[in-house]
A = this chain, B = another copy of it.
């Protein structure tokens, strides 16, 4: 078997386990078992668990970046941002384990590689360009950046609160709506 297909098989196994049971289910031995290979294989193809987590990190951030790159035809700039935000919320919901790996980082044993960091930066750049179009052409770069961070912070904040369920009386289906309303308000300001 080629080295490349071995890598993809490991990643597929890891991604499956990750979606099923989150980070707790993602042990090196479990990945190897599901990929029908020996434990040490993970260390041959990747640099141990770090490498696998890095691949999942990149996988997750690429989905986020993709959400930010949505090019809706015939939509106003503001509508395009809103549409991207909806896609962002979808990713956070459907790939919760990935999202928590990306932003949680509660596991001190893992820190993303430079390559992973690049994917993260490019995702932010996508939002930056989307945001720029909703503002006057002569807007200062710092102001655009502040607006983009503002939007992302609101999105991320809603996702985080939803995961936490800080208010037990919360109406779950309402969160999406609230988040998008806030984004709309921020874009208008």
Q: Report which A residues bind B (CB closer than 8 A).
A: 21-25, 100-109, 117, 120-121, 123-124, 145-146, 149-150, 152-158, 160-161, 163-164, 166-168, 178-179, 181-182, 185-186, 189
Contacts and interface: CB of A to CB of B under 8 A. Distances in A.
Contacts of A101: 106
Given A157-B153, A161-B153, A161-B156, A166 B108 contact: no
Contact of A157 (B25, B100, B156): B156
Given A153-B154, A153-B160, A154-B154, A166 B124 contact: yes
Judged by DSSP, the binding face of A is helix
A157 B167 CA distance: 17
A100 B164 CA distance: 11
A102 B120 CA distance: 24
A150 B104 contact: no
A109 B24 CA distance: 7
A94 to B, nearest CB: 18
Contact of A105 (B117, B120, B163, B185): B163
